[in-house]
């Protein structure tokens, strides 16, 4: 475990992320920082998952000298409290950073290096919080996991659904803007092709679900699959309704296609991860690749959480932050129409003009050195600092969203721990009826949010300007 923590500390630093980004030809300070925090969340999530294995539970029993002896429903719950300890520690880490970085507007602020640097002390602080969490009585984490973490997990799920709807509108509107600006057939092909692919993929998943997961006696699966199909038809009809088109001409099948494929995927994930006590999940009975499937599913789940977290923090401005408080989102993350992309900074434009003048012979080569000296006071010594004028995202909100993500990971891993299916030492992440119903209901809520995004401009035209 100590070796794993040392590896995490060496791999989650911004310097490592900066080197990786530089190899790809793109490395700004804000990008490297977001990648580093996402990697930290990923490592913490995987370690939390390993805490549920028999090997880790036995090690915890030896290390804690039977200090954690509280029972959950008549069974010892070493794994339950260990998972919540790990995620509570990381959540406390992000809560402290959110408080410290509240109100930071640019890297000129003396607190900004806490966000983008000092990775050694921050990793040590995170590990220290983990140690402290194991000294807190188990009763605290029983209450924390059953109530506080559960509420945080719901909030994180709702945030992810809002992001999905935002992404659907963003993608379609971006393609339409490019078509209008360039009149290039490639953008039309891309928009139409992606829409057709989404609907065909959703149809294929629906057929597969009906064949393999909706047999006799599987009323839950039959109802979930059928309702998902009806909701899909409903939002398609709603998106092309004349009243909706009159209020928002950019609405259409492209947005509903993205929502359809995502919600159908959620439904398929729900029926394929439920227990097999009613013989409705043939994947559980499949042999030969169960361990690989469980490991791959867990890693994909944690990667999805890491991506959702970083994207949610990036588009915090579009989700209700005060307009004008922060700079536009970086050009590598195209956003909803409420957030425009940031042009090159004045310093970059001035440097390009000086280089052009030097190449033409109008200015001596020393002019570029003089310009660099003028900018030295504003942090030009770090050419990859893209937040000298204004931050690309709200630092405090960034850490609040990561705090919610730790609650979701802990809740996902610990719901009905004693009933979860295992393969050897590995726990199947989310293989409970609770997790299945969360995904099914999440798909329904996503349909509702998207439908409201279509209906709101028609119902409240004064509040929308298209």
pLDDT recorded at residue 229: 95
Contact 5, 50 (CB under 8 A): no
Number of CB atoms found within 10 A of residue 176's CB: 17
pLDDT recorded at residue 297: 62
pLDDT recorded at residue 203: 94
Q: Which residues fall within 8 angstroms of residue 250, CB to CB, at 6 or more apart?
A: 169, 172, 173, 176, 466
Contact 429, 437 (CB under 8 A): no
Q: Which residues fall within 8 angstroms of residue 166, CB to CB, at 6 or more apart?
A: 315, 318, 319, 335, 336
pLDDT tens for 194-244 read 899 999 999 999 999 999 888 888 888 899 999 999 999 999 999 999 999
pLDDT recorded at residue 452: 92
Taking the alpha carbons at both ends of the chain, their separation in whole angstroms is 55
Number of CB atoms found within 10 A of residue 431's CB: 23
Annotated domain spans of the chain: 346-378
- pTM for this model (two decimals): 0.71
pLDDT recorded at residue 449: 93
pLDDT tens for 14-73 read 455 445 444 444 546 677 888 889 889 889 988 888 887 777 777 766 666 555 544 454
Beta-strand pair 426-427/422-423: antiparallel
Contact 450, 237 (CB under 8 A): no
Residues in the chain where the model's pLDDT stays below 50: 1-10, 12-14, 17-18, 20-25, 27, 69-71, 73-75, 289, 317-344, 372-374, 376-380, 418-421, 466
pLDDT recorded at residue 204: 94
Phi, psi for 427 (deg, rounded to 5):
-95, 130
pLDDT recorded at residue 409: 87
Numbers of helices and strands, H then E, in the chain: 19, 4
pLDDT recorded at residue 337: 40
Integer angstrom CA distances of residue 465 from 165, 169, 240: 18, 15, 19
């Amino acid at each position: 475990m100590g070796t794993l923590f040392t590896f995490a500390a060496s791999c989650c630093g911004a310097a490592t992320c900066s080197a990786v980004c530089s190899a790809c030809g793109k490395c700004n300070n804000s990008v490297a920082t977001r990648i580093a925090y996402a990697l930290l969340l990923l490592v913490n999530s995987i370690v939390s998952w390993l805490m549920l294995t028999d090997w880790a539970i036995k090690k915890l029993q030896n290390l804690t000298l039977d200090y954690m002896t509280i029972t959950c429903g008549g069974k010892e719950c070493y794994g339950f409290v260990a998972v919540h300890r790990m995620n509570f520690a990381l959540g406390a880490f992000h809560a402290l950073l959110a408080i410290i970085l509240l109100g930071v507007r640019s890297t000129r602020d003396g607190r900004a290096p806490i966000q983008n640097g000092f990775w050694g002390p921050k990793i040590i602080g995170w590990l220290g919080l983990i140690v402290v969490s194991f000294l807190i009585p188990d009763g605290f984490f029983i209450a924390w996991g059953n109530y506080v973490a559960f509420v945080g997990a719901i909030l994180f799920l709702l945030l992810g659904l809002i992001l999905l709807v935002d992404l659907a509108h963003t993608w379609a509107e971006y393609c339409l803007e490019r078509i209008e600006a360039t009149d290039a057939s490639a953008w039309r092909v891309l928009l139409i092709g992606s829409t057709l692919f989404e609907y065909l993929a959703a149809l294929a998943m629906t057929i597969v679900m009906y064949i393999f997961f909706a047999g006799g006696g599987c009323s839950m699966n039959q109802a979930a699959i059928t309702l998902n199909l009806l909701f899909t038809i409903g939002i398609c009809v709603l998106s092309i309704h004349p009243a909706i088109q009159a209020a928002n001409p950019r609405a259409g099948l492209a947005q509903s296609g993205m929502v359809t494929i995502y919600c159908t995927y959620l439904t398929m994930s729900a029926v394929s991860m439920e227990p097999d006590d009613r013989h409705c999940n043939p994947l559980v009975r499949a042999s030969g690749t169960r361990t690989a499937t469980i490991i791959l599913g867990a890693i994909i789940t944690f990667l999805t959480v890491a991506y959702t977290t970083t994207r949610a923090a990036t588009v915090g401005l579009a989700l209700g932050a005060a307009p004008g408080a922060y700079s536009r989102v970086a050009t590598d993350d195209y956003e909803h129409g409420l957030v425009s992309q940031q042009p090159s900074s004045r310093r970059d434009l001035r440097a390009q003009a000086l280089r052009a003048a030097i190449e033409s012979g109008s200015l001596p080569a020393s002019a570029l050195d003089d310009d660099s000296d003028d900018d030295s006071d504003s942090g030009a010594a770090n050419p990859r600092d893209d937040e000298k004028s204004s931050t690309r995202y709200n630092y405090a909100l960034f850490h609040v969203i990561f705090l919610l993500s730790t609650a979701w990971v802990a809740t996902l891993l610990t719901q009905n721990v004693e009933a979860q299916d295992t393969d050897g030492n590995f726990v199947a992440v989310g293989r409970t009826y609770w997790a299945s119903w969360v995904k099914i209901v999440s798909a329904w809520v996503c349909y509702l949010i998207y439908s409201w995004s279509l209906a709101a401009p028609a119902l409240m035209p004064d509040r929308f300007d298209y």
